[in-house]
Structure 1
Amino acid sequence: MPLATVHLLALSQNTTIPSYLTSLAQTPCKPLVTSHVLRWIITPTTLSKNVLLNTPWDLLLIVPANTPLPASHLSDNLITAHWSITAGIPRSITDNFTQRNPSLLHPDPGSIPPLTTSAKKLASSPQGLELTPELLDWKNPAAADSSTASPVSMLNLLAFHPTPEARESYMRYGKAFAESIGSKRGGNAKVVGKVVGAQDASASEDKEGWDEVALAQYPSFGHFVEMLGSEDYQAVNQRHRVPALRDTCILCTSEVDPVLVGGGEKARL
């Protein structure tokens, strides 16, 4: 099973996202995914909590493990903090990913599900992956003119309760997401992998415990919001996803067009 590493980077004051990506493009490292970090949706409760929440992350990169980030790019003159986690990604996902991803980021407009104006169920906290007034009102700064104008990709870190039933429950959630509750809002779990190792910038940080990583894309933040506020999604979420997890977090990002990264060269696993 091919390995890929998820990197979170906080850039130094003198480093911009374009300048960092220009520098990275001159190296053998060709990320599968390059994404601008926007905001937390769900925050971790215990695992990696200190390092993840105490750092203003700028970039999410998913990089094949056989072409890691250059050591020079992890130096203090380019970044101020770094956290990473490595996962095995099924070859069915990685095969032709660099050919498929641009079409996912730029879908045919006719294939994007329309947003509805139906009433949305609101909660007081997003920690159970429920819709809150704050999420409903948030405007995506990466969008052209509104929170419904551009795709978003959600990085999920998942830690399951140590029982077979927990994983089975989450698999039922994943099946429903792919077949109905997510897909009908344009949701696509395009990267899913089992964790094989982790490292972060804090020697005292708990590096163990995460079981899986996933990157789910939606046509817009509005589509994600619509899903969270729907009765059919919450029926499955509360029954199968929430009871399965002992910790989780979700980071909202906006992917950079692959054509603009790496001079058009393809990442390979």
Structure 2
Amino acid sequence: MPALTLHLLAFNDPTLDAKVFVNQLKVSPGVHVVVASRPRHVVVQPTTLDTNPLLTQRWDLMLLLQPTQQQQQPSIIPSSLQSAISAEYRILAGIPSKLLTSFPERDANLKHQAPPPLTGSLDEIRRSSKESSQNLEVSPELLAFMDKLTVEHNKPVTMLNLLHFHHPDGKKNYFQYGQAFIPVAGKRGGNAKLVGNVVKPPSAAQNDSRARYDQPEQEWWNEISIVHYPSIRHFCDMLAGADYQQINEKHRLKALRDTFLLCTTEFDVEEGRPKL
């Protein structure tokens, strides 16, 4: 199972174009850019794990990187680009080879397929939204973000999930959630296109962002997922649906001890995908 690195990056220069950084990274030896996207909005905030820096830092770039040769340096990001980075949050994740092999074709198909119609759940939820989106429900703040992003980017969005499970049954409960999620999200065009288990780095010299190298797995993130939706409206339509909230309450909420959910937009979609 190949180990990839997930990165959240902040730049020294806030005016630096993240797309320029990504293009330089793409021509660097030893690294393959699997996902590159612009962080837009934190939908669900972590409550115990790494709230600082996850919530206190303004992130400019999300990357999922795959090494293409033996890594000698602590970071897969070349030293020539390191000077542009002021802060980094890094996680090592094992993603099945089968998912990675089929990813380019699946990803392209998802980004170019016609979006399904909304179910109408959003119309009702605008009149009775929740105070917060912490339990993955529609809140006034999320609706305001949805309306703003729809004007600016009425195209596919990519959700990053960091997952920390209750021990010992959380992973089992989340698997049940994942199975139920497939048809519920699928009718809104949602698709968990990459899922991986968080793994320990091979050495302390190549450590990730966990507090210490020997930190037990029960005390840090256990899994990551990267999920596609045809638009932010489709994502919110799902959250507003009774069918989703049923599986959310039955499986997801009791599985998770902590979570971080970040809405991003991928650069290839920003540049080349026709508006919905």
If the length of structure 2 is used for normalisation, what is the TM-score? 0.83
The alignment partner of 1:185 has SS state of coil
> 1:265 matched to which residue of 2?
none
Structure with the higher helix share, 1 or 2: 2
- Stretches of structure 1 that go unaligned for 5 or more consecutive residues are 262-269
Trace 1:1-269 onto structure 2 (pairs within 5 A): 1-13=1-13, 15-28=16-29, 29-66=31-68, 68-75=76-83, 78-107=84-113, 109=114, 112-118=115-121, 119-120=124-125, 122-139=129-146, 145=151, 149-163=154-168, 165-178=169-182, 180-197=183-200, 199-200=208-209, 208-257=219-268
1:172-199, Cα deviation, whole Å (9 max, x unpaired): 1000111x21111111000100000362
The alignment partner of 1:226 has SS state of helix
Q: Does the 8 A contact of 1:160 with 1:245 survive in 2?
A: yes
Q: 1:25 to 1:174 in 2, by over 3 A?
A: same
Q: 1:233 to 1:139 in 2, by over 3 A?
A: closer
Q: Does the 8 A contact of 1:105 with 1:257 survive in 2?
A: no
Q: How far apart in 1 are the matches of 2:120 and 2:249?
A: 23
Q: Does the 8 A contact of 2:156 with 2:269 survive in 1?
A: no
Q: 1:21 Cα shift? A: 2.1
- Stretches of structure 2 that go unaligned for 5 or more consecutive residues are 70-75, 201-206
The alignment partner of 1:124 has SS state of coil
> 2:203 matched to which residue of 1?
none
Q: 1:16 to 1:232 in 2, by over 3 A?
A: same
Q: 1:3 Cα shift? A: 1.1
Q: 1:176 to 1:87 in 2, by over 3 A?
A: same
Q: 1:85 to 1:38 in 2, by over 3 A?
A: same
Q: How far apart in 2 are the matches of 1:22 and 1:140?
A: 30
Q: How far apart in 1 are the matches of 2:93 and 2:211?
A: 20
Deviates more, 1:64-73 or 1:169-178: 64-73
**Corresponding letter in the other structure for 2:78:** P
Q: Does the 8 A contact of 2:197 with 2:224 survive in 1?
A: yes
Q: Does the 8 A contact of 1:156 with 1:213 survive in 2?
A: yes
1:210-236, Cα deviation, whole Å (9 max, x unpaired): 000000110000000011111110011
- Of all paired residues, the percent bearing the same amino acid is 40
Q: How far apart in 1 are the matches of 2:162 and 2:147?
A: 22
